[in-house]
Amino acid sequence: MEERQAKRTTLFQKDINTLKGVGEKRAVLFRKLGAPTVGDLLRLYPRAYEDWSHPLAIDSTALNEIAVVRATVTRTPTEHRIKGGRLLYRVIVTDGVSDMTLTFFNNRYIPNLLKAGEEYLFRGKVTGTLLRREMTAPEFLPEAKNLQIVPIYPATQGLTSRVISNAVQEALKLLPESVNDPLPLELREKYELCHLGFALEHVHFPQSEEELATARYRLIFEEFLVLQLGLMRIKQGRKTGNPHPVPNAFPEEFARLLPFSLTNAQRRTITEAVQDMAGESPMNRLVQGDVGSGKTAVAAALCWTVIRSGMQAALMAPTEILAAQHFASLSDLLAPAGVRCALLTGSVKGTERKKLFAALENGEIDLIIGTHALLGDKVQFRDLGLVVTDEQHRFGVNQRSALAKKGASPHLLVMSATPIPRTLALMVYGDLDISVLDELPPGRQKINTYLIDPPKRERAFGFVKKHLDEGRQGYLICPLIDEDESGMMSVTQYAEVVQRSFPGCTVGVLHGKMKAVEKEQVMDAFSKGETQLLVSTTVVEVGVDVPNAVIMLIENAERYGLSQLHQLRGRIGRGQYQSSCILITDIRNEESLKRLLMFRDTSDGFKIAEADLRLRGPGDFFGQRQHGLPLLKIADLSTDMRVLHQAQQCARELFSQDIFRGGTLETNEYRGLRSEIARLFARSGSDGVVL
């Protein structure tokens, strides 16, 4: 046991440059790819596989499609010099019935690699004519190699998939026969998981679909399990003393400051959070609430609570606009009750900034609201008791923990407007307690949603115009920044069309490629009512509150996830006016239409999120955004839900047993799993601090 453990560790200590075929130059590239050691390389899984197992006769290949052909090289390839000094090689191959011409450019190794009289598998797009098929620069393998399924690696400049594949083959040779499995036999049997050795070998070089599925299942399970246990352990580990206790009492005094009465969901959430803060260890709570559910009031209640206990609170928002908005509404509310509020963004400069820092450090400011400027070195607190992050998915984990480090274990409140189904929330926020604001304040106008096809755009524009004439504002959303091959318009082109269709109206344009200051200017003009129409990509989706904007038109609606559409739609219906959302699509696909109709008829963000998860997978919840989790190497939250459920169950069982005590997996059997957890969290740089 001990010895095996040692061997296993050494693979992760063995530098990648010790592999045959990996010199220092390649080693640098491998390190960049995330494989600094042989062990890491084995865990660099293929991103796709090519099926070479069904070679076709040349005559049966279809033109313009990728095919695999088994054929013999008829004679030594010929070399031609063409324009620009490039070298061209022509190779004639035959399958005994027909010939095919292959062309390669600038690959002087071709004559060595393709030998006359030998048989190869060629894979590439078939071109030419039905009488004379051709392939240009096909991939090829010696027939003798008999590879069925070829792994495709995330290649990088200078490091082809082939080179990686060869290195992996070398690495597998070093894998000891009896490689120690971090998942003990007992677990593997219970969850029907193959051994690590088998999994590693077959995830890279499967001989069949079944083998691949078996290998992947196990690796995905392991990855989810490790992540889940890691998060649970972090949660457990935080339970150590509460340096900032508050009285366990509902802040009624705060509630009386509000111009409205709190909803039951708000009261419940505040109660849960106050209980946390009065408890044995610092609060770590996520508040999930649909757009408009009143998260800000919850945050304010908790800030009030810690401030009343003599501590300071900080609220971090992802953009200057949002920060300014929060500052305006919170200081209006709290300043009359004696709470000293301040706003810190990149725009606060010079002596003003210095004064603010000093006041914060002296405790002359109770509540600071700001952007990531709050993370600056100079920002020091006298006694930071609570950190709130709004729209948390916009912040990386390191940013959030940086703010928390400015105090001695302050309470943490994370607010998210992206409703996430429960299973997924457990996965992503496994280390947090969760409150759900599942109720909207009363008297909200329902947003009318319409689904139309492009010929009705003109009429829809007329409808928008009518609202503008009444003094309201509107959003026009289009999906792309650049013109793309599908002929869709860029935002700027679209804005020109809009300007022509709305002569005399003021139009602002917003997209993700603009500089932050430009974006803020455009948003600012819109929220002040200086522009009537805002043409935008989805960058407008987060948190912005312009109650006078009552109409939204979304082009190519089929391109968005439902949750994203929901976020977009949440920008309207925020004031006293009846609001309308018009989705335009020319999609005819029944499934897609069904999705959009479901969206049209539903206003509940959680229902929409569940449907989205079912229909498109969770990719949409996170997309490209940072969600602060360690990077998963093989598991894909969008396709592997079933495995996720299994792994969650397993994690809970392990956790409930005594095996998992005091933040460590104590028994020898679980030592491997423990080091996997350490490795996963070390890799993410999150250092065990996932907020």
Contact residues: ligand ADP, CB under 6 A: 260, 262-263, 266, 289, 291-297, 417, 441, 545
Q: SS3 for 446?
A: coil
Shortest Cβ 285–ligand ADP spacing (Å)? 15
Q: By C-beta, is 426 or 437 nearer to Mg ion?
A: 437
Nearest to 406, CA basis, from 370, 433, 382: 382
Rounded distance between C-alpha atoms, residue 539 and residue 218, angstroms: 38
The distance of closest approach from Cβ of residue 440 to ligand ADP in the complex, given in angstroms and rounded to an integer, is 8
Residue 676 in 3-state DSSP?
Answer: helix
Residue 289's binding partner, choosing from ligand ADP, Mg ion, none, with beta-carbon cut-off 5 to 8 A by kind?
ligand ADP
The answer to whether residues 374 and 400 touch, using CB atoms and an 8 Å cutoff, is: no
Q: Are strands 411-416 and 284-289 parallel, antiparallel or unpaired?
A: parallel
Tell me the pairing of strands 66-73 and 119-128.
Answer: antiparallel
Q: How far is the CB of 292 from ligand ADP (least distance, A)?
A: 5
For Mg ion, what does the binding mask look like between residues 223 and 242, x meaning CB under 5 A?
--------------------
Nearer residue to ligand ADP within complex by CB, 229 or 417 = 417
Cβ 325 to ligand ADP, closest distance in Å?
8
Whole-number minimum distance, CB 417 to ligand ADP, in Å? Answer: 5
With beta carbons less than 8 A apart as the criterion, state whether 595 and 611 touch: yes
Beta carbons of 123 and 23 less than 8 angstroms apart? no
Binding mask 197-226 vs Mg ion (x if CB under 5 A, - otherwise)?
------------------------------
For the CB of residue 7, give the shortest distance to ligand ADP in the complex, in Å. Answer: 53
Contact status, residue 600 vs residue 449, Cβ threshold 8 Å: yes
Q: Which is nearer to Mg ion, 407 or 543 (CB)?
A: 543
Closest separation in Å from C-beta 388 to ligand ADP: 12
Of the ranges 101-109, 207-215, 432-440, 543-551, which one interacts with Mg ion (CB under 5 A)? 543-551
Q: Which does 603 bind (CB under 5 to 8 A by kind): ligand ADP, Mg ion, none?
A: none
**Angle 196-204/209-237 helices, nearest 10 degrees?**
120
188 vs 267, which CB is nearer to ligand ADP?
267
Query: How far from each other are the two terminal CA atoms of the chain, in whole angstroms?
Result: 36
The binder of 46, among Mg ion, ligand ADP, none, by C-beta within 5 to 8 A per type, is: none
- Measured from the CB of residue 292, what is the shortest distance to Mg ion in angstroms? 8
The Cα-based distances of 172 to 15, 17, 46, 621 in angstroms read: 14, 15, 14, 36
In angstroms, the CA 448 to CA 467 distance is 14
Decide which of Mg ion, ligand ADP, none touches 291; Cβ closer than 5 to 8 Å per partner kind.
Answer: ligand ADP
Report the residue number, 406 or 571, with the smaller CB distance to ligand ADP: 571
Candidates 177-185, 247-255, 349-357, 539-547 — which segment interacts with Mg ion by CB under 5 A? 539-547
Which of 182, 543 has the CB closer to Mg ion?
Answer: 543
Residue 502 or 606: the one with the smaller Cβ distance to Mg ion is: 606
| 557-to-49, 179, 596 alpha-carbon distances in Å | 32, 50, 8
Report yes or no: 548 and 468 within 8 Å, Cβ to Cβ. no
Number of residues that bind Mg ion (CB under 5 A): 1
Residue 641 CA to chain centroid, in angstroms?
16
Distance, CA of 135 to CA of 129 (rounded, Å): 11
* Residue with smaller CB distance to ligand ADP, 449 or 567: 567
292 is in the binding site of which of ligand ADP, Mg ion, none (Cβ under 5 to 8 A by kind)? ligand ADP
Cβ density class 342-366: b for 16+ within 10 Å, e for less: bbbbbebeeeebeebbeebeeeebb
Select the residue whose beta carbon is closest to Mg ion and give its number. Answer: 543
In this complex, which beta carbon is closest to Mg ion, that of residue 524 or of residue 666? 524
DSSP character string of 370-385: ESGGGGSTT---S-EE
Closest separation in Å from C-beta 4 to ligand ADP: 53
Q: Which residues bind Mg ion (CB under 5 A)?
A: 543
